[in-house]
Structure 1
Amino acid sequence: MEQRVLVAHGSTSGSTERIAQTVADVLRTAGITAEVRPARFVTDLDPYEAVVVGGALYAGRWHKDARRFVRRHRGALAHRPVWFFSSGPLDPTASQRDIPPVPGVERAMARLAVRGHVTFGGCLTEGARGRIAHMILRDGKGGDFRDFAAIENWATGVAKELGAMAHR
């Protein structure tokens, strides 16, 4: 039986979307059909056996599209394997240690029995939209802190779990 996985994301400047794309690429390499979609455009989870949800972090909160996606689809998510990821720290801390989920994500994880969560470094570079982004960049605090090897490693773990579930 073919496994279909949705990788939904809440992303403003495309950094979290790029992480979602990397997760889906790893799943596809493992023989899993994976579709990447912006969380705000997903209307139905029926076609998917599992879901990965990613959201950028802003001021200690998950991207509004990721939050709304989880709230809107909580009934369907409760009946599927689900993983979460966050992206956000604009420094190397996410590569140096495990960063726990922010409180809102942690509450959603408990309600949905989410199988795993990871926080990846974020990316904020010239051209980012928004007043806060411009202030951060002006203060010299931007940069790309995404660790694609860590992203691929985490996604490989998700693929292995999905593979084990398919063979039960």
Structure 2
Amino acid sequence: MTGKVLVAYGTTNRSTARIAEAIADVLRKHGLSVDALPARSVNSVSSYDAVVVGGGLYAGRWHKDARRFVRRHREALAARPLWLFSSGPLDASASERDIPPVSGVKKAMTQLDAQEHVTFGGCLEDGARGFVARMILRSGKGGDFRDFDRIEEWAARVAGELSGGK
């Protein structure tokens, strides 16, 4: 594939944005042209040959911007290779085992014939926005559980699929 790839993401406190940017960096290192953009800022996916969409998990749901993105662009997404990722567990579980997609993401995977979904650990640190985030931090359950080696390995596999196994 010689076209462009979009990595769109829904995030509140930039943790998922950092994951999306890491994915985009790996895809670029594999010779792909990539844009990493907040999902809410994307008006069209028509100029992209493949799409990766990620969203933070909040109370068992994908970030609203990621949900709206896949709904708004469902026809175009169904017509091109699509990968999905979630970020969220505030523990090491995402690095220890495969975590299945939440129900809304599973439904999107089926409807859009997505190639794959993966869940990465999340990050919630001091200064996070939102009442629930502040409550989690006060309870001592915050921290950075993103595994960038695992994220980069997954992105390299996506790049390999997009490049025809090169």
The TM-score with structure 1 as length reference comes to 0.97
Structure 1: distance between partners of 2:98 and 2:78:
25
1:150 aligned partner: 150
Question: Shift of the alpha carbon at 1:3?
Answer: 1.8
1:88 aligned partner: 88
Calculate percent identity across the aligned residue pairs: 64
Which runs of structure 1 show a deviation greater than 3 angstroms over 4 or more consecutive aligned residues? none
Q: Where in structure 2 are the equivalents of 1:19-168 lying within 5 Å?
A: 19-164=19-164
Q: Supply the AA of the counterpart residue of 2:33.
A: T
Write the deviation string for residues 101-128 of structure 1: whole angstroms up to 9, x where unpaired: 0000000000011000000000000000
Q: Supply the AA of the counterpart residue of 1:164.
A: G
Structure 2: unaligned runs, 5 residues or longer: none
Structure 1: unaligned runs, 5 residues or longer: none
Structure 2: distance between partners of 1:141 and 1:68:
29
Q: Supply the AA of the counterpart residue of 1:106.
A: K
1:6 aligned partner: 6
Structure 1: distance between partners of 2:43 and 2:56:
20
Structure 2: distance between partners of 1:109 and 1:117:
8
Q: Supply the AA of the counterpart residue of 2:87.
A: S
Structure 2: distance between partners of 1:125 and 1:63:
18
3-state SS of paired residue (2:56): strand
The number of residues matched between the two structures is 166
Question: Shift of the alpha carbon at 1:2?
Answer: 2.7
3-state SS of paired residue (1:137): helix
Q: RMSD value over aligned CA atoms?
A: 1.1
Question: Shift of the alpha carbon at 1:41?
Answer: 0.7
3-state SS of paired residue (1:164): coil
The TM-score with structure 2 as length reference comes to 0.98
Structure 2: distance between partners of 1:155 and 1:53:
12
Q: Supply the AA of the counterpart residue of 1:49.
A: D
